Structure 1
């Protein structure tokens, strides 16, 4: 093997080692937030991972980079799989599909309250990517696609589906965020109320499916 070949091999192994360690540290940070609350403390992350802060900062340039990585994991491993998964499931009616997505979002708030509060506390950080907004965009775009497919399959124009989708996602997110602290109604009642409100608008725009 040439010197270049050995060098490339070492570089590849280091790159993979670095990737694996970063994943371990981000997972430790997620567990730290779950245990201690939405205020991420680097000292606690290091203790959870069983390393010093010095070691931790070999893999992240600063706390902001660690926070970004934690937000990305919350988005890609918790929020999006759950919400997009519900949208992808064929259900008897469009209303049933809408209710399932609303219920999934409310369930996430109930099951992961610390991660939810952490994620939304980081929204709009100056100079950083807003992964919360990106998650909302991805869900809205997926909902728009689903509605567009329904209309197109019936020979109708999909124009307006993005407006409807972003409106629904924004309404559900804001109402659920209010509920996450107020808890003035039960989770089941919240899901029912939001479904009724959202479907009241969408039912006037989407043609009824069989069974509706």
Structure 2
């Protein structure tokens, strides 16, 4: 492409970024059923421009979900670095996740209503949960390997933990004023997650030291979500 074409593509990319940022703010403020006109108003662009930048509403929604996931990961990835004690690491990860959802319930609902087709799973909440599960699987498998234990239970335990947290958070969001405070919910889920991990290790004849430095048993693992 010549210089003029490159500048035009850069201009379109910049406008798409404006629309995606604005759409995320609109969903966060107005709710998951926000319309294109509202998104255009948040972006301070004509609605016709928004339609020209995306093939169709489905394309716009898919890219907004991907944009939300990217923003979410920027917040969550640092909390998944395995450092401190086992108890500290579990508490930090779960508290960060629960606090993000509590702060952005509309974004969470928008992700939850995402497309279920496998080709688009990475852009929906299912993709986020899968990424979490795979990351936790690697951490647990590394710990089991250090203890010279088989790692074939790591995936089941990991995705069980993800299901535990997600299964509790979803109804909690709809309880309104009568629900547990955010910190208390995160504390309850962190305690339950540690009990699950302790139970899985106990079945293998190992007692979990919750104050053990996690970095010593997981080596150089870093969050997949931060890549």
**Cα distance in 2 for residues equivalent to 1:147 and 1:104:** 19
Residue matched to 2:188 = 193
Q: 2:64 aligns with which of 70, 75, 82?
A: 70
**1:108 corresponds to which residue?**
100
8 Å contact 2:80–2:89 — kept in the other structure?
yes
Shift of 1:147: 0.9
TM-score between both structures, scaled by the size of structure 2: 0.81
What does the per-residue CA deviation read over 1:59-112, in whole Å, with 9 as the maximum and x for residues that have no partner? 10111111111111111111x2333321214022x2221121111111012211
Distance 1:32 1:167 in 2: 33
Higher mean C-alpha deviation, range 56-65 or range 126-135: 126-135
Q: Any conservation in 1 of the 2:20–2:63 contact (CA below 8 Å)?
A: yes
RMSD over aligned CA atoms reads 2.1
Selected match of 2:31 from 34, 37, 46: 37
Other-structure match for 1:211: 211
| Partner residue, 1:160 | 153
Q: TM-score, normalised by structure 1?
A: 0.86
- Structure 2: segments with no counterpart, 5+ residues: 213-227
- Tell me which moved more, 170-179 or 83-92: 83-92
Cα distance in 2 for residues equivalent to 1:60 and 1:142: 33
Q: CA deviation at 1:127?
A: 8.7
Question: Aligned pair 1:55/2:55, yes or no?
Answer: no
How many residue pairs are counted as aligned between the two chains? 203
Instruction: Indicate if the aligned counterparts of 2:112 and 2:126 stay in contact, CA closer than 8 A.
Output: no
Counterpart contact for 2:24–2:107, Cα < 8 Å: yes
Whole-angstrom CA distance in 1 between matches of 2:95 and 2:184: 10
Structure having greater relative contact order (Cα 8 Å, sep ≥ 6): 2
